[in-house]
């Protein structure tokens, strides 16, 4: 299950801007690869020395550097300081579990977003923080793990399909964010299937496990929502950005991306409403079942209680020889048939009563 809060106690008491990694300890080594491209050429390398980055900053071509393995806080800190990032930026990169946000610095735009992954096998969601640093001609992306979410964007760059090579790093940033939003749609689609499975289960035969699943789903929606609401603000912030980092030509794309984010949000809210309704259905089906159990008990009890009473009556040991008033029925010729008929009659009257009450 998704953790509610990341362990932040390691940080409390340290000065603001301390480069401490906060997140799950995954033994992933620090690594990076760099893509340098313009309309004509594209190269994919893994530079080692810091000076190479400084040279790139001055080149007119576009550069995209993917950094993964935030676990190694020292390495990330050294790289970022070398790149001239603000200490607060570095803190936010390393302190994963951030709320998505956009920060404007003089030299660059800084974005944090959450990527949600859905594991088909375990039906569980996991969350990863991805940070973006957009400079005039470079884009840095920081990943917790060496994931493959942006591989197809890279493939498009390499095969020079679409507009990607013709436009700048702002379009690249847009493409990556579009990929992230598309990923939300995929997750929602799978959750939608789960919701529909659960709805069928609810109607067919709800069990306490169904309720458990509904609550897990509800909790996932709470956490999903917590990622998408601020993402909307981030993309809106990009749209309204008045610095030079996002070109004018990119506006129409951002508007489209914003609309898609709203649609994700809308779907999340719809799911929340539907899941709330499912809890109601579950609870009322539990009541209905209880009602049915009660009815069966009541029908049996109410039919047999008078019969047992009659049987008990004629089981009394009053001495018939002492008085003609003492249980003369016992000595009647038709005594037993009379008692049986009395019982049958009582039972039939009861059954008619229940039929009229529509209890079965």
Residues in region 118-157 near a second copy by CB under 8 A: 152, 156
- The H or E element containing residue 121 is none
Note whether 42 binds a second copy by CB under 8 A.
no
Closest approach, Cβ 257 to a second copy, in A, equals 8
Strands (E), the chain: 31-37, 42-45, 62-68, 101-104, 109-119, 124-134, 138-143
Note whether 351 binds a second copy by CB under 8 A.
no
Closest approach, Cβ 191 to a second copy, in A, equals 8
For residues 167-206, which are near a second copy according to CB under 8 A? 174-175, 178-179, 182-183, 185-186, 188-189, 192, 195-196, 203, 205
Closest approach, Cβ 49 to a second copy, in A, equals 28
214-220 long-range Cβ contacts below 8 angstroms, 24+ apart: 214/275, 214/278, 214/279, 214/282, 215/279, 216/1, 217/191, 217/271, 217/275, 218/272, 218/275, 218/276, 218/279, 219/1, 219/2, 220/2, 220/125, 220/191
Note whether 330 binds a second copy by CB under 8 A.
yes
Sole binder of a second copy in the list 26, 44, 55, 293 (CB under 8 A): 293
Note whether 329 binds a second copy by CB under 8 A.
yes
Sole binder of a second copy in the list 56, 263, 342, 351 (CB under 8 A): 263
User: What does each C-alpha distance from 5 to 24, 127, 183, 339 come to in angstroms?
Assistant: 11, 12, 23, 73
151-160 long-range Cβ contacts below 8 angstroms, 24+ apart: 152/179, 153/179, 154/35, 157/35, 157/37, 157/42, 157/64, 158/42, 158/44, 160/42
Note whether 101 binds a second copy by CB under 8 A.
yes
Given the complex with a second copy, which of 72 and 233 has the nearer CB atom?
A: 233
The residue count of the chain comes to: 360
Closest approach, Cβ 47 to a second copy, in A, equals 27
Given the complex with a second copy, which of 50 and 294 has the nearer CB atom?
A: 294
For residues 227-246, which are near a second copy according to CB under 8 A? 230
Note whether 360 binds a second copy by CB under 8 A.
no
Select the span of 42-50, 73-81, 138-146, 307-315 touching a second copy (CB under 8 A): 307-315
Q: What is the DSSP string of 223-245?
A: HHHHHHHHHHHHHHHHHT--SSS
Contact between 235 and 254 (Cβ < 8 Å): yes
Select the span of 52-60, 134-142, 236-244, 288-296 touching a second copy (CB under 8 A): 288-296
Closest approach, Cβ 65 to a second copy, in A, equals 21
Note whether 298 binds a second copy by CB under 8 A.
yes
Given the complex with a second copy, which of 32 and 202 has the nearer CB atom?
A: 202
Distance (Å, rounded) from C-alpha 94 to C-alpha 25?
12
Note whether 41 binds a second copy by CB under 8 A.
no
């Amino acid at each position: 299950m998704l953790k509610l809060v990341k362990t932040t106690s390691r940080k409390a008491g340290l000065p603001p801007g301390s480069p401490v990694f906060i997140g799950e300890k995954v033994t992933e080594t620090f690594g990076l690869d760099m893509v340098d491209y313009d309309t004509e050429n594209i190269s994919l390398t893994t530079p080692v020395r810091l000076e190479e980055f400084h040279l790139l900053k001055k080149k007119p071509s576009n550069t995209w550097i993917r950094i993964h393995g935030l676990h190694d806080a020292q390495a990330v800190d050294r790289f970022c300081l070398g790149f001239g990032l603000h200490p607060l930026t570095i803190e936010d990169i390393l302190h994963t579990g951030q709320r998505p946000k956009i920060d404007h610095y003089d030299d660059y735009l800084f974005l944090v977003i959450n990527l949600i992954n859905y594991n088909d096998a375990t039906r569980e969601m996991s969350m990863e923080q991805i940070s973006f640093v957009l400079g005039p001609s470079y884009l840095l992306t920081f990943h917790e793990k060496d994931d493959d979410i942006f591989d197809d964007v890279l493939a498009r760059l390499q095969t020079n399909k679409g507009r990607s090579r013709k436009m700048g790093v702002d379009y690249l940033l847009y493409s990556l964010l579009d990929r992230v939003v598309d990923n939300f749609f995929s997750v929602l689609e799978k959750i939608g299937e789960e919701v529909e499975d659960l709805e069928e289960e609810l109607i067919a035969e709800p069990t306490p496990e169904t309720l458990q699943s509904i609550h897990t789903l509800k909790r996932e929606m709470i956490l999903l929502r917590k990622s998408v609401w601020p993402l909307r603000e981030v993309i809106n912030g990009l749209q309204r950005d008045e610095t030079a980092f996002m070109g004018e030509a990119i506006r129409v794309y951002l508007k489209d991306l914003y609309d898609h984010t709203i649609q994700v949000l809308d779907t999340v809210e719809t799911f929340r409403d539907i899941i709330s309704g499912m809890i109601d259905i579950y609870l009322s089906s539990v009541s209905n079942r209880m009602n049915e159990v009660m009815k069966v008990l009541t029908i049996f009890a109410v039919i047999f209680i008078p019969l047992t009473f009659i049987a008990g009556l004629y089981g009394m040991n009053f001495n018939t020889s002492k008085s003609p008033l003492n249980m003369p029925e016992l000595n009647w010729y038709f005594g037993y048939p009379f008692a049986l008929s009395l019982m049958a009659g009582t039972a039939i009257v009861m059954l008619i009563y229940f039929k009229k009450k529509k209890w079965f």
